Amino acid sequence: MTRSGLESKPSPIAGLGLFATQSFNLGQKILPYLGKVIHSPPPSKPSQPTFILEIKPGLWIDGLIEENLARFANHSCAPNAELIFNEEENQAWLIARQTIPAGEEITFDYGFSLAESLFHTCHCGQTNCIGKIVASPLRPALRRHLRFSRPRD
């Protein structure tokens, strides 16, 4: 599946990833995150797909639809894009948060809660990777939790 400037292909992070086939500039719109709008939080279950994202308080998008190429974008603890909800367009967009050269994988912060993070291991490979998919503001709290709950040897 392709779209101008983008392609999905196997990723070192997980499954299929979203890759740039052209460069994107800081602040540039990469592509919209399409899907079904949901007004209540999804249940946190291991079987829960990672395509249901809170795009603003009280509003989730279930991106598991064929047209949503953005669903291939993996989470990273040091992402090069971010998901931003555009109120005027009533549309969520992946926006470049730095220059993204052609060939690079496009990643963003899934923004998961602490409860959700427990079911989702992160394989982003960044030096600051916390090992779980969790919203960046929650990382210090999760890091403390993981440190204190680790069994002693």
CB 83 within 8 A of CB 92: yes
Residues of span 2-61 touching Zn ion by CB under 5 A: none
- The residue within the footprint of Zn ion, chosen from 6, 18, 69, 77 (CB under 5 A), is 77
Residue pair 35/65 in contact (Cβ under 8 Å)? The answer is: yes
- Least spacing, CB of residue 113 vs Zn ion, in Å: 16
Amino acid code (one letter) for 7 = E
What's the min distance (Å) between Cβ of 1 and Zn ion? 25
- Rounded Cα distance, 49 and 22, in Å: 29
Single out the segment in contact with Zn ion by CB under 5 A; choices: 20-28, 43-51, 125-133, 139-147: 125-133
Q: How many residues bind Zn ion (CB under 5 A)?
A: 4
